[in-house]
Amino acid sequence: MEENIRSLITGSIRGEALYNEPLSRHNSLKVGGPADIYITPADLADLQSVLIVLGKTALPWLVIGGGYNLLARDGGYRGAVISLKRLSRLEQLDGNCIVAEAGATNDKLVRFAAERCLTGLEYLIGIPGTVGGALCMNAGAHGEDILTRVESLTIVREGDVRAKERNELNYGYRFLSLGPGEIVIAATLRMAIGKALEIEERIEAHLARRRNAQGVSYPNAGSFFKNPQGKQAWRLIEEAGLRGYRIGGAQVSEVHTNFLVNRGGARSADFIELAGIIKDKVKEQSGIILEEEVRIVGED
């Protein structure tokens, strides 16, 4: 990175800026080479300043949440990676609504709602990651997803903040379509009123289900592939005979076959090769083409 760009960025923010920062430190798979710069803005105003400065440079950038749905390539990222983890406010509004900033964790959102007897998002408990990541991939479980609860999203683009109302959103199973340069920084979520005991029972049931089916002890990114229409990715992988299949340090989990795990010393290239084999074998076995749910970033 050119020294003048480095000085410009460092001098413009109040948050943290790390140079040549290994992305393996910032994702749940624990793989990935260095980003030229890793920026953690202190707050929304700081994020706006960062985006304005980056807009004056030719430096590419990307935003990450908790790094739980991310596969960073071994060559790292030639540009700026922006973490929203400090934008983590949760606030109750009138009308059974909650404002959740992108850096808040899914678990904290669920607990915040439960404490106020607000229901509708219990299925998010135990899904690792942040609200921003959940929104951008329309996270969900058991036929429910987070964007069905959204009244509006707060978006920042090139330093300007605006609201996107529900009727402006284009989303579906595991996707939210955003315009170029748009970053989701918060959502207003409409909840329902529930009974404290029933909400807690649902939370505990979801947690127990995850412990039983997804109790994977090695670093992982959660579900690696999307479920094809009417099918379950884990079952297709299982039927292709790939439970426990391993490339280098990357392995198909022996507990949940849609989880790819880092058994130690894995490289991003191991996961990419393993994912390719899984897709080939599943297509050969069933004719179905699997699509990655994880976001793959960076260069080889």
Could you give the residue numbers annotated as active site?
A: 174, 223, 293
Token readout for 39 is 């920026």
Q: What are phi and psi of 20, to 5 degrees?
A: 50, 45
8 Å CB contact between 140 and 223: no
Output the DSSP codes for 162-192: EEEEGGG-EEETTEEE--TT-EEEEEEEE-E
8 Å CB contact between 130 and 113: no
Report which of 102, 101, 119 is spatially closest to residue 110, judged by C-alpha positions: 119
In angstroms, the CA 129 to CA 135 distance is 11
Report which of 119, 130, 126, 141 is spatially closest to residue 184, judged by C-alpha positions: 130
8 Å CB contact between 199 and 122: yes
Angle at 249 between CA 248 and CA 250, to 5 degrees: 95
